[in-house]
Structure 1
C-alpha cells in the first residue's frame, strides 16, 4: 500500500471512528472493498468509464447544499474511494450531536483564541447551562428553530440570568451554530432568530456615584497620590495619576514600556498583563484583550507625569527592580478608600471615569471608543456615566436650559 492510499484510507477510517494504526493492511483493504460495494449500490448516478485510453472515470454527486457536482479519477477504484468520504461524511453530519458539535467548535476556537482564560470560561458556562439541557444529547439535525428558541428562554428563566450573563453564555451558541453553518452541517443558522421573551434578572442600575470618581473625589485622590509619591517616590502613585489621562485597562497600564512612546503625542498600546486562571500565574502577553493595538492620545499633563518617573528599566513602572502589577495598583486605591471612609473604587473605575469625563466635555463618542480600544460603540456606552458633582450637574443643567 503506497503513502497516498494509506492517507486516503486513514481519512475514511477516521470518519468511521476507527483506529487505523491498530489495523493491518489486509483488514483495511477488506473494509475499503466492502465500502466500495456499498457505494455502488447506493450511488444514484451512473459511473462512466473513460472514452479514450488517457481519459478518466467520472460520475456526479450532490454536495451538502444539494448542488450537483462532477467528480473524476484515473480508475473506477479511485473514483469509488473519493465517493466513500462524501457518503460517510453525510452520515457523520446526520448523527452529530449537540455536545459533539460543541467539542468540535471548542477545538476550533481554542486554535484561534489563544487565551486559556477565555476557553476556561466557555467550558464553565457550557457545563452550567447547556450540559444539563435536552439539547446536549440531541442530534443537531433534529434541533429545529422553535426548540432552540424554547430552550434558550428556559435557560434564561430557570437560571434567573441577567442580560449580561446571557450574552456571555450565548457567545457559545452563536459560535457553535456559525461553525456548523460554515462547515455545512446545517442549512440555516437558527441562532439568528432566537428571541428572549422571558424577563431577565433585574440588577440595580449603576450610576456615576458608584462607577466613577467625581470631581471632588478625583481631586482628593490626586492630592493623596502626590503626597504619597513625594514621601516614597513609589511609581505606583504616578501610574494611577497617569491613567486618569489615558483610560487604559489596568493590565495595559502596568505592561507599558518606554518604547511605546511612539511620538510626542501618542502611546502605542500593544500588550497587557494577564492572570492565568489555571495556574494563577501573572504574565505579560504581547497583545491586548481584543488582540488589536491602538494609539492613545498623550496630553501635556500626562507627559509631565511620565517625566517624573525614573527611566531605569524597559517597563515604565518598576518597583525594586520588578515590574509593577495590577494588584499593586488596586492596593493603592483600597488604601485611599480606607483613609477616606468610602467604598473602594477599583482600577476599572479609572477607565470609566476617563470615558465619562471625555463625554461630559463633548468629545465625540467614536473618539472615546477608539481611545478605549472597543470595537463596538455599544460597549463604550456602558462606560459612560455622570462624573460631575451634584452642584456641577445642577449648574450644567441650568446653563443648558437658559
Structure 2
C-alpha cells in the first residue's frame, strides 16, 4: 500500500478526507507557507532594515543585473520577493502570448481560418526568434523596447503605411491580451497614443497610376473582346467589369443570388491551411467584410451577360463552373493575364477591374453613398483613397484643363 510522505497511507488519507477529519484549508495554507519559505530561502540578496525602519533588498534584472526594492514592513517586502519569483516560474514570451491570443480568437469565432493563417504568417515575418523583443520575457518588455522594435522593423523591412498596419494589429492584439492575462503591465492603448512615427520613416510605394486601372481607351477594347469571345471565364471577367465585385465574390456566386435588378452578395472564396498544414480553397457563407454583404444593383447590360452565363452553365451549383467544379479566383486572374497579352495591354490583376468600376461610378457623378454600397465599403473615403484613379486619356485631360482654365 502506498504511503504518504508523513507515513500515513494514501487510503487512510482518502478516508480522512471523506469524513472531514482533514481540514483542506489548513493543508493549502501549510503548502503555501512552505513554498513561500522555500522561495525566500533561495533569494540570493540580503534583506535588511535601514535606520529609518525601511526594509530593503535587490531583485534580479535582465538589463541592469539587479534592481533596488524597499517596503515599510518585512512582510510587504517578502511579498514583493515571492511575487517576483512566482512570475519568473512562468517563462512567458511574446510568441506564447501571440499563440494564446490568436487561438482564442479562432475558437470564439472572432476571426476566420484564413485570418488566422494570415496572422500566423505575419507573425513569422515580423517577430523573428533572434529579435531582442522575442528573447525577452513578456513581463519585462518596456515601452522603449516596443518603440525600438517597431522603428527597426519599419526601417529594415521597408514597410509602407499599409504594411505597417498589419504589424500594428498584431502588437495591439498581443499586448492587450497579455495585459488581461497579467503577463504584462504595459498599456498598449497608452503606448500607441504616445508613439510618434514621422511620415518619412515609411517606405514610399511608387506605382504607375496608369496600371492601377483600365483607361477609358482600353475599356471598350477589352469589353468588346470578352463579348465576342463568349465562354464561362470571359463572362466572369465581363461581369466584374459591369458590377465591380471582388473576384472571390464572383467565383462564389450561386444562381439563387441573382435577382431581377440586383445581385445578393453574401459569399466569397477563402484560402486557409488545414490541420496538416496544407492549403485548402473553399467558399464561406459571408462576404469579405460586414459592408461586403450587400444588394448590388446592376445596369441593363448585365442582363445580357447573365443570360450568356446561364446558357453556358444551366444546372451548376455555382454560377461559374467547369467540368462540374467551381472556377476559382486565381483561374480568372490567369485568364485576364492571357487576354491582356493578346490585346497588347499592360498586365493587370482582376482587382484593377474593381478599381476601374469604382472610378467609373465616381466620374459619372453617382452619389457617394451609392458608390460605397456598390463597392461593399463602409464609407466613401475608402473608395476615394484606394480605388479612385484618373483613367482619362492625355487628350481628354488636356481638353478638360482647357475648358476649366479659359481665362
Give the TM-score of the pair, scaled to structure 2.
0.70
Q: Show the counterpart of 1:279.
A: 278
Q: Show the counterpart of 2:397.
A: 393
Q: CA deviation at 1:392?
A: 2.4
Partners of 2:155 and 2:394 in 1: CA distance? 38
Q: Show the counterpart of 2:170.
A: 172
Q: Show the counterpart of 1:80.
A: none
Partners of 1:152 and 1:343 in 2: CA distance? 37
Are 2:117 and 1:120 equivalent residues in the alignment?
yes
Cα contact 2:117–2:272 (8 A) shared by 1:
no
Partners of 1:124 and 1:315 in 2: CA distance? 31
What are the Cα deviations for residues 145-185 of structure 1, in whole angstroms up to 9, with x where unaligned?
A: 33322221111112222222222222210211232345565
Q: Show the counterpart of 2:95.
A: 99
Q: Which structure 2 residues correspond to residues 1-400 of structure 1 after superposition, within 5 A?
A: 32-35=28-31, 37=33, 91=87, 96-111=92-107, 112-131=109-128, 132-183=130-181, 185-186=184-185, 188-189=187-188, 190-197=191-198, 199-207=201-209, 209-229=210-230, 234-261=231-258, 263-276=259-272, 278-290=277-289, 293-310=293-310, 311-375=314-378, 377-380=380-383, 381-400=385-404
Residues 328 and 100 of structure 1, relative CA distance in 2, 3 Å threshold: closer
Q: CA deviation at 1:274?
A: 2.4
Mind listing any 5+ residue stretches in structure 2 that lack a counterpart?
1-12, 18-23, 38-82
Residues 250 and 174 of structure 1, relative CA distance in 2, 3 Å threshold: same
Residues 326 and 103 of structure 1, relative CA distance in 2, 3 Å threshold: closer
Aligned CA-pair RMSD: 3.3
Q: CA deviation at 1:362?
A: 2.2
Partners of 2:87 and 2:347 in 1: CA distance? 58
Mind listing any 5+ residue stretches in structure 1 that lack a counterpart?
1-23, 42-86
Q: CA deviation at 1:343?
A: 2.6
Q: CA deviation at 1:290?
A: 2.2
Q: CA deviation at 1:217?
A: 0.9
SS at match of 1:368: helix
Give the TM-score of the pair, scaled to structure 1.
0.71
Paired residues, number? 326
Residues 96 and 244 of structure 1, relative CA distance in 2, 3 Å threshold: same
